[in-house]
Amino acid sequence: MEQKGSGRDLNPYFRSMAETDRCAVVVCSPEHEIIYMNPAAAERYARRGGAALIGKNLLDCHGDSSREMIQKVVDWFRESSTHNLIYTSYNEKENKDVYMAALRDEAGELIGYYEKHEFRNRETEPFYHFDRT
């Protein structure tokens, strides 16, 4: 991927963003194949197989009702290139909102999706905390 005018391949930048994200990032194909898990996702889902889940079908990790809703969302993503984000749940234990987000190519075609987590908790680390071990 190259941003117009920059002349730079942005793929390494986006990969680095995902790799350093503290939230789990699991990217799936439209056919639900898990094609990428960042380190936070591999750790979060370690008891289910962690990074070994790459190449597996996401739907196999869910019960019937979740499988049905995931498929409904992907079908909705396919209906229109403007269908890109849908709120799916609130996790009270972790105080976060959860969304499914479409991933599209330059032509607007659906190439995959991922689950997006947005925590509502205020960060506890001090501002500009450079002195770390």
CATH of residue 37's domain is 3.30.450.20
Chain segment 71-115, per-residue pLDDT in tens? 999 999 999 999 999 999 999 999 999 999 999 999 999 999 999
Chain segment 47-56, per-residue pLDDT in tens? 999 999 999 9
Asked, for residue 5, whether it belongs to a domain, the answer is: no
Asked, for residue 124, whether it belongs to a domain, the answer is: no
Which uninterrupted H or E stretch holds 36? strand 34-37
Asked, for residue 106, whether it belongs to a domain, the answer is: yes
DSSP string, 82-123: T--EEEEEEETTTTEEEEEEEEE-TTS-EEEEEEEEEE-SPP
**What is the pLDDT, as a whole number, of residue 2?**
56
Examine the pLDDT at 3 and tell me if it is beyond 70.
no
Asked, for residue 93, whether it belongs to a domain, the answer is: yes
Distance CA 97, CA 42 (A): 20
Reported as a pLDDT band with limits 50, 70 and 90, residue 67 is very high
For 55, the domain range is 24-119
**Under DSSP, is residue 59 helix (H, G, I), strand (E, B) or coil?**
helix
32: left (phi over 0), alpha (psi -120 to 50) or beta: left
Structural domains of the chain, count: 1
Asked, for residue 47, whether it belongs to a domain, the answer is: yes
